[in-house]
Amino acid sequence: MAGSAFGVSAARAAGTPIAGNTIPSAPRRVVAVDSRISLEMALALELPLVGYSHSRARPWVPVPAEVPFLAAPPDPEQILALAPDLILCPDTAPQSEWWPLEKMRRIAPVLTSDHRSHWRDNIERLAAALGRSGLLAPLLAEHAGRIDTIRRRHAQAISAHLVVAASYDPLKRRLNVRSGGTGYGFVMPAQVLTDLRGHAVGADKLGFYGEVALESFGSVLGDVDGILLIDMGGSALAALAREPLWQRLPAVSAGRVEIVAGNCVFGSFYTARYLAYAWEALFTRLNS
């Protein structure tokens, strides 16, 4: 189902005139509706941004200071007033107030993304629609080189170890493990780990959204060798550090936990780069 929705809207957005407009070959005013995927893709492809929505850009995403953070959820009237000639918007929930695809289509041509696909597919499709594949190629090559280097340098650790990326929810006292195949789809930590050919705990051992209750830490994470712990802010990690069942995990007592700051669950090129270094840091730990 995901695949077909993806394909159909891609063709419609890129190929047909919308609201009397076609995709501009050199857009001058671009709005990124989603601050993770849309925004990162726009920056990587050097599109001239006039605003973005959803949530504030994470520190590793190089947004120019003059690009404003718009109302969130996005306000169509505000976006219309910016007079964009291209809008980037996810097409996975066209009726939600966060990604109002149909309303966006009435303002300007829209190019879509789907967080359930690999970030590379999303950005390649966008670059092709805008005729910027040439601009993208060196970026992808740079990333592939980075992935290759890490894979070579840590070949032993990557193939031998079972790892997870996870964040902690202190209110519900559980870990949210960011493996592929949970309710969140193909999340970025899983995408980068897959590219590195690493092995993560499978979604079948986790809750629907990757949850692991505190009391199941031992049975689900007992054989994990390394943990990439995502720090979403607040006092979550301090609370986790106090839990005896966390301290007892072999990976934790052996010091094989790498903390990565900031919400890096969804994203594109910049988040992929950020995560590649984070995974590398973890595998370095596993080697030592």
Partner 1 sequence: MTPDRGSMSARSLACHLGLAIGCLGLAIAALGLGRTAFAPAAILQALAGESPAATRLVVVEWRLPRVAAALCAGAALGMAGALFQTLLRNPLGSPDVIGCDAGAFFGAILALLAGGSVAVVAAGAFSGGLAAGLLVYVAAGSARTAPSRLILIGIAVGAGLSALNDWLIMVAPLDTALVAASWRQGALAGVDPARLVLGIALLAPLLLLGLAGSRSLRTLELGDDKALSLGEPAGRSRLRLGLLGLGLTATATLIAGPVGFVALIAPQAARRLLGSPGLPLTASALFGALFLLASDCVARLAFAPRVLPVGAVTACLGGICFVLLLLGIRRREATP
Partner 2 sequence: MTRRLLAVAIGLLVLGCACLAALLLGARTLSLDDLLATMRGEQSEAAIIILQLRLPRLLVGLSVGAALGLAGAIIQLITRNPLGDPGLLGINAGASLAVLLAAACFEAVEPRLIIALAAAGAALAAVAVQALAGRQGGEAGPIRLVLAGVAVTAFCIGIGQAIALSDPDRLDLARNWRVGSLSGDGGTILPGILAAIGVGGVLALLLAPGLDLLALGEERATTLGAAIAPIRIGALLAVVLLAGGAVAAAGPIAFVGLAAPHIARRLGETAARTLLPLAALIGASLVLVADVIGRIAAPPAEIPVGIVAGVLGAPLLLLLARHRRNLA
Tokens linked to 192: 């980068």
Question: Judged by CB under 8 A, does residue 80 bind partner 2?
Answer: no
In this structure, the strands spanning 30-32 and 86-90 are: parallel
Question: Judged by CB under 8 A, does residue 84 bind partner 1?
Answer: no
What dihedral angle (degrees, nearest 10) is formed by the CA atoms of 176, 179, 182, 183?
A: 60
- Compute the least distance from the CB of residue 59 to partner 1, in Å: 24
Nearest to 41 by CA among 91, 110, 92, 88: 88
Question: Judged by CB under 8 A, does residue 97 bind partner 1?
Answer: yes
The one among 140, 245, 261, 281 contacting partner 2 by CB under 8 A: 245
Question: Judged by CB under 8 A, does residue 204 bind partner 2?
Answer: no
Nearest to 61 by CA among 31, 87, 29, 39: 39
The one among 4, 17, 66, 95 contacting partner 1 by CB under 8 A: 95
In this structure, the strands spanning 226-231 and 162-169 are: parallel
Query: What is the DSSP annotation of 243-262?
Result: -HHHHTSHHHHTT-EEEEES
- Compute the least distance from the CB of residue 264 to partner 1, in Å: 17
Of 124 and 169, the one with the shorter C-beta distance to partner 2 is 169
- Compute the least distance from the CB of residue 10 to partner 2, in Å: 27
- Compute the least distance from the CB of residue 98 to partner 2, in Å: 9
User: Which x/- pattern, by CB under 8 A, does the window 156-175 give for partner 2?
Assistant: -------------xxxxxx-
Q: How far apart are CA 230 and CA 244, in angstroms?
A: 19
Of 3 and 145, the one with the shorter C-beta distance to partner 1 is 3
Helices and strands (DSSP H and E) totals, the chain? 13, 10
Nearest to 84 by CA among 60, 121, 53, 58: 53
User: Residue 95 binds which one of partner 1, partner 2, none, with CB within 5 to 8 A depending on kind?
Assistant: partner 1
Residue 58 · residue 262 · CB < 8 Å: yes
User: What does the angle CA 249 – CA 150 – CA 121 come to, to the nearest 5 degrees?
Assistant: 100
User: Residue 25 binds which one of partner 1, partner 2, none, with CB within 5 to 8 A depending on kind?
Assistant: none
Question: Judged by CB under 8 A, does residue 255 bind partner 2?
Answer: no
Q: For the segment 178-237, give every residue that binds partner 1 (CB under 8 A).
A: 183-185, 208-209
The one among 11, 15, 21, 106 contacting partner 1 by CB under 8 A: 106
Q: For the segment 11-50, give every residue that binds partner 1 (CB under 8 A).
A: none
Binding footprint of partner 1 on the chain (CB under 8 A):
70-71, 73, 75-78, 80-81, 92-93, 95-98, 100, 103, 106-107, 183-185, 208-209
